[in-house]
Structure 1
Amino acid sequence: MIGRSRIRRLRPLQESTFRMRILCTNDDGIHAPGLKVVEEIARALSDDVWVVAPELDQSGVSHSLSLNDPLRLREVGPRHFAVRGTPTDCVIMGARHILGTKPPDLVLSGVNKGRNVAEDVVYSGTIAGALEGTILGLPSFALSQEFSVETRERPPWDTALKFGPDILRKVMAAGIPKDTVINVNFPSCAPEDVLGIRVTRQGKRNLGFLRIDERRDGRNNPYFWIGFERAAMMDTPAEGTDLAALRERYVSVTPLRLDRTNEAFSEALGAALK
């Protein structure tokens, strides 16, 4: 609900814990381990949990919307649905169709395998799923679990499970401003090694982190993969950022706004265009 203060507040948690309707989605796909994690986090808050996730991996699709292809909907199980589409499609399908006349009170997107910080938020389907919930006027969180080279195959999901529910409770009790999505990133360490929780700003890598890898097929024809620069892994992040928090083993909680207007530059831009 949006009040005059433009702050959305759910009913007191002790009254609404088992009435709150939660919609879960992700960008890793309906069979991703992180989707089970976010569902477990949701069930710590409510027993009315719905899952609507992409049929296939949609990592890196950002906020894309399927306009040129039909959406195929498959019921996987009770309150579990797969959509042949993007995370954005899934949130719209869940909120506007599957859940019928009783829309969700909360949207959770994740838990992504891998962090979504700095420039990642521009590309992330996980972030986009939460942003779409915010566009629909719903309190929304994006949740991501960082992994290291050593934990790539087995990310420390227990860290998200331990800290996720309490973070959600506290943020919702405080209220979320209109047009704001909460981006939560859990560090790549065991729960007992987490040093705390930090409210952060979106960081920026000082070094480029994407590259094009050229390879050859069996007929010696070139093909390409988008890859990641190892140098970006060694970048020194600025204090107060999501990057710095994760590096120092803190959970990063970043409020992201839908409005990307550079207000500080608007006056100078107006003067230049006179």
Structure 2
Amino acid sequence: MSLRVLITNDDGIDAPGLEVIRQIALGLTEDVWVVAPDGNQSGAGHRFTLGRELSFDQRGPQTFAVVGGSPADCVVAGYTHLLGGKAPDLVLSGVNQGQNLGDLINCSGTVAGAREAALQGALGIGMSQSIDFQRGHGVDWTNSIRHGLSVVRTILAQAQGHAVYYNVNFPNCPPDDVAGIQVVPHQRFSRSVFRYYPSDNAGKFFIAIPETPLPLDPAHDFEVLRRDGAITVTPLALAQTDMSTLARLQGKLTL
């Protein structure tokens, strides 16, 4: 049976990373569909556009922009409508311009695209290309291009069911220095990374990430990507209940 792949992202349908992930998908199958936001939706998380009409802008064969839509909107529209009676087997979200690590997965539109895929019943994989934000030299997509297809194939070969989705990050290093794939947990930071950040314009401000909270665990995604130059793969569960706390609290919360 031919594999059907749906692609989305949060950088927008015109972002260069979308073409990178399209080529990865075409290495798996010819049955590739693109449903992505018409503009940048970075940081949108799993937001849905409720109570406001959306529309499609067809950009080419099996390629659609959702005007004003989020990545989650795009996956739903693609999965439940645009692809007709045959749902996708795999949803690839990305390749994001910049890493999605640690607690940032909670606000990442890229990761949300993979999460919504799993909720709909497909295998979801979010993919991000790390960059050096301090140096600001732009994005080198080489590692995503060279290794993306192999990473997707190995996850496909090992995945079991749709209760888990995957967050993949490619290191920012020379391609020959990539230290394989490491399956790692995501970094829990000591506090939220987001902070008020003043603007040069009077009375204005930003919500920004001025620095990374420390300490960092050397065995978790943030340090493994940066220090080891490995491709990080983090399996994430849809079920969010803390079972140990549930067991501890049973019978203890009373009116």
Query: Quick check: TM above 0.5?
Result: yes
1:186 corresponds to 2:165: no
Q: Tell me the distance in 2 between the aligned counterparts of 1:176 and 1:167.
A: 16
Which of 245, 251, 260 is residue 240 of structure 2 equivalent to?
Answer: 260
1:224 corresponds to 2:208: no
Return the offset for 1:177: 3.5
Aligned sequence identity (%):
38
Q: Tell me the distance in 2 between the aligned counterparts of 1:152 and 1:59.
A: 18
- How many residues of Structure 1 are paired with residues of Structure 2 in the alignment? 252
1:27 corresponds to 2:7: no
Structure 1's 23 and 64: CA in aligned 2 closer, same or farther, altered over 3 A? Answer: same
Q: Tell me the distance in 2 between the aligned counterparts of 1:253 and 1:98.
A: 30
1:156 corresponds to 2:140: yes
> Mean Cα displacement is larger for which, 46-55 or 187-196?
187-196
Q: Is the 8 A contact 2:97 2:128 kept in 1?
A: yes
Q: Tell me the distance in 1 between the aligned counterparts of 2:137 and 2:174.
A: 15
Unaligned runs of 5+ in 1: 1-15
Q: Tell me the distance in 2 between the aligned counterparts of 1:153 and 1:39.
A: 24
Return the offset for 1:237: 2.1
Q: Is the 8 A contact 2:119 2:162 kept in 1?
A: no
Unaligned runs of 5+ in 2: none
Q: Tell me the distance in 2 between the aligned counterparts of 1:261 and 1:80.
A: 37
Q: Is the 8 A contact 1:187 1:249 kept in 2?
A: yes
> Mean Cα displacement is larger for which, 126-135 or 158-167?
158-167
**The residue matched to 1:195 in structure 2 has which SS?**
coil
Q: Is the 8 A contact 2:197 2:210 kept in 1?
A: no
Q: Tell me the distance in 1 between the aligned counterparts of 2:134 and 2:155.
A: 32
Structure 2 residue identity aligned to 1:127: V
Structure 1's 148 and 216: CA in aligned 2 closer, same or farther, altered over 3 A? Answer: closer
Return the offset for 1:208: 4.6
**Residue 42 (structure 2) aligns with:** 59
**Residue 46 (structure 1) aligns with:** 29
1:270 corresponds to 2:254: no
Structure 2 residue identity aligned to 1:36: E
Return the offset for 1:270: 2.1
1:195 corresponds to 2:175: no
Q: Tell me the distance in 2 between the aligned counterparts of 1:153 and 1:70.
A: 38
Return the offset for 1:151: 6.5
Q: Is the 8 A contact 1:208 1:229 kept in 2?
A: no
**The residue matched to 1:119 in structure 2 has which SS?**
helix
Q: Is the 8 A contact 1:209 1:228 kept in 2?
A: yes
| RMSD, aligned CA | 1.7
Which of 67, 76, 80 is residue 63 of structure 2 equivalent to?
Answer: 80
Structure 1's 207 and 215: CA in aligned 2 closer, same or farther, altered over 3 A? Answer: same
1:69 corresponds to 2:52: yes
Structure 1's 178 and 80: CA in aligned 2 closer, same or farther, altered over 3 A? Answer: closer
**Residue 11 (structure 1) aligns with:** none
1:238 corresponds to 2:222: no
> Mean Cα displacement is larger for which, 29-38 or 148-157?
148-157
**Residue 81 (structure 2) aligns with:** 97
Return the offset for 1:150: 6.6
Q: Tell me the distance in 2 between the aligned counterparts of 1:229 and 1:151.
A: 14
Structure 2 residue identity aligned to 1:245: V
Return the offset for 1:175: 2.5
**The residue matched to 1:166 in structure 2 has which SS?**
helix
